[in-house]
Amino acid sequence: MSINDLIDDFSYLDDWEDRYRYVIELGKDLEPLPEAEHSDANKVKGCVSQVWLQTHVARGDNGEPVLTFIGDSDAHIVRGLIAIVLRLYSGRPASEIAKTPADPVFQQIGLDEHLSPQRSNGLHAMVGRIQADASAALADAGVA
- Alpha carbon distance 114, 13 (integer Å): 14
Is residue 112 annotated as a catalytic residue, yes or no? no
End-to-end Cα separation, the chain, in angstroms = 30
Query: Could you say which of 47, 51, 85, 98 is catalytic?
Result: 47
Whether residue 130 contacts residue 53, with contact meaning beta carbons closer than 8 Å, is answered with yes
- Cα of 135 vs its chain's centroid, Å: 16
Residues contacting 3, CB < 8 A, separation 6+: 87, 88, 105
Q: Which residues are catalytic?
A: 47
